[in-house]
Amino acid sequence: MSGRISTTELILSKMDYSQNKSAHELALECCIEEPTVRYHLRKLRTLGVVQEFRNTRAGLKAGRKATLFRRVNNMQENSIQSLCNTLLRQFLFHFRDDNEKAEQRLARLIIGEKPVESGIPMNIRELTQWLSENQYRASWEAGKTGPVIKFANCPYREIRENNEILCAMDAYLLRELNASIWELQHPMDWQNLQGNCRFVVKENTNR
């Protein structure tokens, strides 16, 4: 059995939980091309393994400073996940078995008042922009029966397990913002962040 480690493992071995490093610094330490390091850092950030920070270091050169990265403290993350799961369970208990009301209330809490205060539904472009600004990495494409909205990221991945209501909440969130009734056609592999969540408009329905 080979003792070689993967590029991802090598990069992580050069990072810790208290020190920020740039892709350039990691490339030098790992003896890897910087674009390769950036590619793996993007994947690790999406999976929640590393965090990205603005560079506030004083430097001699003017211009845009390199982004810094740090490994996520798993103990801290687990505490936050546990707290979120507890709060979600208490929230659902308040609604007892009325899942639809719970989905609606959650969606409205996520949206807040500003996007819908005018009462004018968002068009598809505005909708995908709002979603991407809120960590969904959304896009859309034309489908056979209408537009298809795709999520390339699950903002609630860490608490998604056994919380199917979060997918239903997303469908209602789309409805609130766009004034069409959306349904989840196909979910992503949220554990590995592979594929996309695909939402389509229900045929012959109005809000």
Check which CATH number belongs to the domain holding 112 and give it. 3.30.1380
Q: How far apart are CA 20 and CA 22, in angstroms?
A: 7
Residues 55 and 145 grouped into a single domain = no
Is 136 a domain residue?
yes
Helices 74-95 and 99-111, packing angle to 10 deg: 130
Is 141 a domain residue?
yes
Residues 152 and 57 grouped into a single domain = no
Residues 65 and 122 grouped into a single domain = no
Q: Which of 22, 48, 72 is the C-terminal boundary of a domain?
A: 72
Residues 43 and 84 grouped into a single domain = no
Residues 47 and 147 grouped into a single domain = no
Query: What's residue 1's pLDDT?
Result: 41
Query: What's residue 108's pLDDT?
Result: 85
Structural domain containing residue 63: 7-72
Is 207 a domain residue?
no
Instruction: Evaluate if residue 10 carries a pLDDT over 50.
Output: yes
| Mean per-residue pLDDT of the chain | 80
Q: What is the tally of structural domains in the chain?
A: 2
42-89 pLDDT tens trace: 888 877 788 887 766 555 455 556 788 888 766 555 666 777 777 788
Q: What is the CATH number of the domain that holds 64?
A: 1.10.10.10
Residues 79 and 67 grouped into a single domain = no
Is 153 a domain residue?
yes
b or e along 160-188 (b: 16 or more beta carbons within 10 Å of the residue's beta carbon)? beebebbbbbbbbbbbbbbebbbebeebb
Q: How far apart are CA 107 and CA 104, in angstroms?
A: 5
32-55 pLDDT tens trace: 999 999 999 988 887 778 888 776
Query: What's residue 23's pLDDT?
Result: 92
Q: Which of 51, 72, 93 is the C-terminal boundary of a domain?
A: 72
Residues 31 and 115 grouped into a single domain = no
CB-based contacts of 14-18 (< 8 A; 24+ apart in sequence): 15/50, 15/69, 15/70, 15/71, 16/70, 16/71, 17/70, 17/71, 17/72, 17/73, 18/70
Instruction: Evaluate if residue 109 carries a pLDDT over 70.
Output: yes
Instruction: Evaluate if residue 206 carries a pLDDT over 60.
Output: no
Query: What's residue 171's pLDDT?
Result: 92
Residues 168 and 140 grouped into a single domain = yes
Is 2 a domain residue?
no
Instruction: Evaluate if residue 179 carries a pLDDT over 70.
Output: yes
Strand ranges (E), the chain: 21-22, 50-53, 68-71, 138-142, 147-151, 182-186, 197-201
CA angle (151 as vertex; 130, 166 as ends), nearest 5: 90
If one counts every other C-beta atom within 10 angstroms of the C-beta of residue 45, the result is 15
Is 66 a domain residue?
yes
Is 163 a domain residue?
yes
Least-confidence region, from 16-25, 68-77, 103-112: 68-77
For residues 23-37, average pLDDT = 93
Query: What's residue 115's pLDDT?
Result: 59
Q: Which of 72, 91, 110 is the C-terminal boundary of a domain?
A: 72
